[in-house]
Chains A and B, each alone.
Chain A
Amino acid sequence: GQNIDQPTEMTATEGAIVQINCTYQTSGFNGLFWYQQHAGEAPTFLSYNVLDGLEEKGRFSSFLSRSKGYSYLLLKELQMKDSASYLCAVRDWQAGTALIFGKGTTLSVSS
C-alpha cells in the first residue's frame, strides 16, 4: 500500500526559513509533488522531484531521497502570504497516474 506522512502544523516568523518534511512508502514510486493550498482555494503546483537531489525555484526548494523515502520543501525569506497548507503527493505506477496525497502541513507565518 501507500503511506505519506507530514507534520500537521508548523509555525514560523516572517523572514525565516522553514523546512517541511514528508516521508512516503510506495511500491512503484514515480515522482513526488509539492502543492500549496490557501484556505478555501484549490491546490497550486509548487515543485516536482523524480531524481535524488535538490530542485530550486526562487524562494522554494524541494529535496528528494528515494532510498530513504524522504522529501522536504524548504521555504526561504518567509512572507505572510506563505501561510497555507503544503501538500506532499506521490505518483505510484502501481496505483495508476493519480496522485496520492498526504494530509498536508498547515504553515502559519507571523510577523
Chain B
Amino acid sequence: GAGVSQSPSNKVTEKGKDVELRCDPISGHTALYWYRQRLGQGLEFLIYFQGNSAPDKSGLPSDRFSAERTGESVSTLTIQRTQQEDSAVYLCASTLPLVRGYGEQFFGPGTRLTVL
C-alpha cells in the first residue's frame, strides 16, 4: 500500500479483556516497530521485527504484551487482560533496510486504545 495502515483506529475495551491490534507495513519494508504513546508523552518503544530474525522484545512492559509478524508482512500486537494503564495510542512504523537509506521510520495512524 501507499503507507503504513493500522486497525482498528479506535478500540474501547473493558478492563481484563484481551485486544489485538493490527499493522500493515509498507510493501518492501523489512523492519517493523511498535511504539506506545501515552497522552502528552513521547513514544515508548515496545518491540521490533527485522526480516526473519528473532524480534527485539526489550521494550515490552509486561508478559501481557506480545506481538507476531509473518515474514515481512502484517504484524499483530496482543495485549492480554488489559489494564487501565494500557490506555494509549499504539503506533506502528516500518523502514527500508539500512543499506537502502538511513532508516527513517514511516508511521501508521495509530490505534487509540481506551481501557475502561
Contacts and interface: CB of A to CB of B under 8 A. Distances in A.
Interface of A: 4, 31, 33, 41-45, 48, 50, 87, 89, 91, 95-104
Given A42-B91, A42-B110, A50-B102, A97 B42 contact: no
B103 A42 contact: no
Nearest to A88: B42
Contacts, number: 57
A37 to B, nearest CB: 9
Contact of A42 (B31, B48, B108): B108
Contact of B50 (A91, A95, A97, A104): A97
B103 A97 contact: yes
Given A45-B105, A97-B31, A102 B42 contact: yes
B107 A44 contact: yes
A91 B107 CA distance: 16
B107 A98 contact: no
Contacts of A89: 43
Nearest to A33: B104
B45 A98 contact: yes
Interface residues on B, range: 20 to 34
Contacts of A87: 42-43
A104 B42 contact: yes
Select the residue from B42, B50, B98, B106 with max chain A CB neighbours within 10 A. Answer: B42
B50 A42 contact: no
A50 B110 CA distance: 28
Contacts of B42: 4, 87, 101-104
A3 to B, nearest CB: 12
B106 A31 contact: no
22 contacts: A31-B103, A33-B105, A42-B107, A43-B43, A45-B106, A48-B102, A87-B43, A95-B45, A96-B48, A96-B58, A97-B50, A97-B103, A98-B59, A99-B45, A100-B45, A101-B43, A101-B44, A101-B45, A103-B40, A103-B41, A103-B42, A104-B42
